[in-house]
Amino acid sequence: MSAKEAKEKPTNDQKVPWTLLQKDLVPPASGNRIDSAAPKDQVAEMRFYGTLDPADIIQESLVRLEEGRWLNDNQCTFYCYEVGNAYLEGSARRSSSLVVLHARTWRYSAWDGGYPKHIREKGLQPALACDYLAFPANDSENHFFLCIIVHPCDLLLDNNPDGPVRTVAIILNSLSGLKPTQPQTKIRKIISHLAQGLQLRQNELSNLKVYQPLVAQQTNFYDCGLYPGHFLSVFLSAPEAFTLHCTGETPLEGPVDLIWKHHFIRSARERLRKLVTASAIIRQSTIDALSIR
């Protein structure tokens, strides 16, 4: 969450800009405390470690956390960021293995040149220099799914000038009847944007495979924003095994709901609500502490 501290000291050549230190905290714009914030006041924030695009929660959006309401892109991203941060904190060896980006990343496929100028904190590895790059996405403005690019680092020419390229994209979608349009074209454009001037293995990029395996399906039309974070959590529990499963190379045995731990989705909304509430409390406490220095 926004007050997570580093569990291990970074080395001199790997200074990690931990979440709370990436941005000066400021009180709500209205001047109120967070517990009495005005509708447009920011009350909580989540950042994936090293990523500059925050998931900001404003007061008037909190009602979306109630049962039966659709989440917005910041709330969906908030959940994915928390899952990604927890994964990195699980082992120091994972520090460069995962990058999680904001839900607006899918829109990069429609933009021409130059934007965004900065995705990662200065001095950190590029977004593509990882084993797994994940982000929630919304292709139709009314349904979220999860996109995972596996081994995007293999496409970087400097990293891998002539070796094998294992890069594939996986889309995990809780409404299989509502698939994204032209996902291969869009993901190729997103990768090109995320390269930010780094040379890519263009032939291999043009042949990028996109897999859309069968996953647990939602039983209503409003919980889709919870599934990207849930799917990411399950995938990261055994990323190599789930990559082989999703590509069909080595399928996991058992019912699809059991494989994807679908029963946990029942408590996902409450977990997200508690995460946002805790983030708001910690944010106000930090603002109070900074104000008396």
- Given a cut of 70, is residue 18 above it in pLDDT? no
pLDDT digits (tens, 9 = 90+) for 106-134: 988 766 655 566 788 888 889 999 999 99
Q: What is the pLDDT of residue 95?
A: 84
Mean pLDDT of 63-67: 96
| pLDDT surpasses 50 at 7 | no
The percent of residues above 90 in pLDDT, for the chain, comes to: 70
**For residue 290, what pLDDT band results from cuts at 50, 70 and 90?**
confident
Task: Annotate 2-25 with b (16+ C-beta within 10 A) or e (fewer).
Answer: bebeeeeeeeeeeebbbbbebeeb
Q: Check pLDDT > 60 for residue 42.
A: yes
pLDDT in tens, 197-226: 899 999 999 999 999 999 999 999 999 999
